[in-house]
With several copies, the nearest count.
Chain A
Amino acid sequence: MTTAPAKPAKPAAIGWTRDDMARLAALDIPDGSYVNLGIGIPELVAQHVPAGREIILHTENGLLGVGPAPAAGQEDPELINAGKKPVTAIPGAAFFHHADSFSMIRGGHIDICVLGAFQVAGNGDLANWSTGEPDAIPAVGGAMDLVAGVKTVFILTEHNTKSGAPKIVGKCTYPLTGLRVVGRIYTNLAVIDVRPEGLVVTAVAPGVSWEDLAAKTGAPLIDGRAKLQAKA
């Protein structure tokens, strides 16, 4: 009898975990905000709202006041989020139709949305809906409406693609979702503000050097950490 070959050890994750990233983003969401969370990593933000804060979650398919996921067996196929996953509604929730829902988005009533990204450019351009491959089925959903209408757009994403390419780039090569729309980027390596002067790094994950960060980023970065400390 031979032993199975040992699996190669998973490389140690670099920087923050997804929960760390979600926690950082949640810390930046003021009490009382109306927030739309994109599908994927952004959904984790709901679990990290600091104690004592109340935020109201909007899902574009017609619900304000999204609650936690239902207990197993309690799912209702007519109570879902934009990712088509079962959710619950908090007491004080409201249901509405799609035109009203996107009036909230387009009309500037949603304070913050947290989205994923394929690419973010140094000027805040975002690409997160299509890889532009010739045989891809194009599907945009509400992404373009969200970035056009929501007051502040947070991006929550791994800093690099699975193949190691930077997601923060000088210029997006994928089809754009919106022009100059991103306000802040939370990755596993850093928190980066998109400002008129460029991409300003306000925090770097423990164990990540500035050189590491710069090497994994496709656009120039400005170190804004000292400035922050000076303020404090």
Chain B
Amino acid sequence: MINKRVGSAAEAVADIHDGATVMIGGFGEAGSPIELIHALIDRGSRDLTVVSNNTGSGHVGLAALIENKQVRKMICSFPRTANSTVFPELYRAGNIELELVPQGTLAERIRAGGAGIPAFYTPTAVGTQLGEGKEHRNFNGTEYVLEHGLRADFALVMANLADRYGNLTFNKTARNFGPIMCMAARTSIVQVREMREPGGIDPEAIVTPGIFVKRVVVIPEPAQESQLVREGACYP
């Protein structure tokens, strides 16, 4: 019987090795899989390449993972946060690499990676610093740059409901990068609020079919990042 549920966040991330590329869902705190990230901090894997839209807030979640020196390189679109100095300090000190990617290009690269598309052309960033050095090509009178699909060894994602097949739904704007990161990672690890029996999620409303999901952990009441930040929490 297929059952993708695993017992704990620690178990779910136990094989994330040093040097792995890890996609981490979320746009700001919405959809950030904070318990999985904390388990990865406990796990201690180092030299990671992290693909995530932002670089976290305060001293918890993604910011804490970075602060704990586990991340060698960030691939993201917006590494600035009003309330976190973790990434900026490491970056200014030359202790973390940054590949800055426009947000839509980042999303499309992740989706392409998951869809078996090695490369595609996009109009975004033509004529800008972020298009410099990239292959340009004209189609029907418009310039485009070549961008490459992104894959990852692991994805850490927060969803809402799951069943034992790994079918997922998300909650509102916490959906963001979750579905495409599940597609692009060889091993996608998802924390959900609730498990349902097969058939307990409307098959027309499943956002991520289980084929894209390897492991599911139930975290009924995930910590709220902004609240932890307000309280001045630090992890670990």
Contacts and interface: CB of A to CB of B under 8 A. Distances in A.
B157 to A, nearest CB: 11
B179 interface: yes
Interface string B1-38: 11000000000000000000000000111110000000
A217 to B, nearest CB: 23
B164 interface: yes
Contacts of B199: 91-92
Interface residues of B, number: 72
B34 to A, nearest CB: 11
Contacts of A63: 172-173
B207 interface: yes
Nearest to A31: B2
Given A77-B30, A107-B114, A149-B116, A177 B104 contact: no
A141 B125 CA distance: 12
A106 B151 CA distance: 14
B226 interface: yes
A140 B114 contact: no
Nearest to A96: B209
Interface in B105-150: 105-108, 110-111, 113-117, 122-130
Interface string B67-103: 0000000000111100000011001100000101111
A78 B125 contact: no
A175 B78 CA distance: 16
A79 B123 CA distance: 29
Nearest to B80: A139
Nearest to A66: B173
B173 A61 contact: yes
Contacts of A176: 127-129
B154 interface: no
A159 interface: no
Interface string B167-202: 100111111111110010000000000000111000
A80 B165 contact: no
Contacts of A107: 113-116, 183
Interface string A172-198: 000111110000000000000000000
Contacts of A42: none
B180 A97 contact: yes
User: Looking at A64, A84, A89, A135, which has the most chain B CB atoms within 10 Å of its CB?
Assistant: A84
A80 B173 contact: yes
User: Looking at B29, B165, B170, B173, which has the most chain A CB atoms within 10 Å of its CB?
Assistant: B173
Interface stretch (A9-17, A52-60, A206-214, A223-231): A52-60
Contact of B108 (A60, A102, A178): A102
A109 interface: yes
A94 to B, nearest CB: 4
A50 interface: no
Contact of A144 (B29, B111, B125, B177): B125
A56 B3 CA distance: 12
A106 B122 contact: yes
A175 B77 CA distance: 16
A148 B2 contact: no
B100 A139 contact: yes
A95 B204 contact: yes
Given A94-B210, A95-B203, A78 B127 contact: no
Contacts of B198: 90-92
B234 interface: no
Interface string B29-64: 111000000000000000000000100000000000
B128 A144 contact: yes
Interface of A: 31-32, 34, 54, 56, 58-65, 76-81, 84, 89-110, 130, 135, 137-145, 148-149, 175-179
Given A78-B174, A137-B88, 13 more contacts: A32-B2, A63-B173, A77-B224, A78-B31, A80-B27, A80-B28, A91-B197, A98-B177, A102-B107, A103-B114, A107-B115, A137-B91, A145-B104
Interface of B: 1-2, 27-31, 53, 77-80, 87-88, 91-92, 98, 100-108, 110-111, 113-117, 122-130, 163-165, 167, 170-180, 183, 197-199, 203-204, 206-207, 209-212, 224-226
10 contacts: A60-B103, A61-B176, A63-B173, A78-B173, A81-B173, A96-B206, A100-B209, A107-B115, A138-B98, A139-B80
